[in-house]
């Protein structure tokens, strides 16, 4: 079955990011397909490579990147939410005149249309949030 996942919360406020990650991992391990993971609202904070949690803390950003590498996941960060919260890739840095980028490997910034497409193309859309 084809799943898509929507993540509405950042890694340090509530449990949503972890629940979404554990669910996605379990689905992939069971042989399901994940069409897309869409990060919306504070969920975009899952996609900064500049985060440096203590070594004995789980690193949710790296976890997503590693899962994406293993299963070729499409990790999409909402552009409007990203601009507000300072999540920047090369294109956004150039467009908005920023002096740096911080998007984590395997993440990409795109629009809300990607969420709509994910909902249409997938058998199930599962939402994790506050």
SS3 label, residue 4: strand
32-71 footprint of another protein as x/- string (CB under 8 A): x---------------------------------------
Distance of CA 51 to the CA centre of its chain: 14
Q: Give 1 or 50: the residue with its C-beta nearer to another protein.
A: 1
Active-site residue, selected from the candidate residues 37, 76, 78, 82: 78
Cβ pair 5, 23 in contact under 8 A: yes
Q: Does 86 bind another protein (CB under 8 A)?
A: no
Q: In whole angstroms, how far apart are CA 105 and each of 75, 89, 93, 120, 123?
A: 10, 10, 16, 26, 27
Point out which residues bind another protein (CB under 8 A).
1, 3, 8, 14-16, 19, 22-23, 25-27, 29-30, 32, 124-130
């Amino acid at each position: 079955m084809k799943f898509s996942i929507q993540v509405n919360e950042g890694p340090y406020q509530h449990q949503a990011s972890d629940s979404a990650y554990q669910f996605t991992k379990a689905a992939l391990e069971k042989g399901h397909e994940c069409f897309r993971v869409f990060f919306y609202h504070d969920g975009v904070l899952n996609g900064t490579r500049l985060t440096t949690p203590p070594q004995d803390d789980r690193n949710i950003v790296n976890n997503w990147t590693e899962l994406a590498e293993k299963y070729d996941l499409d990790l999409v960060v909402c552009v409007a939410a990203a601009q507000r919260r300072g999540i920047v890739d090369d294109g956004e840095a150039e467009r908005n005149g920023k002096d740096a980028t911080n998007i984590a490997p395997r993440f990409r910034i795109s629009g809300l249309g990607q969420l709509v497409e994910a909902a249409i193309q997938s058998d199930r859309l599962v939402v994790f949030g506050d």
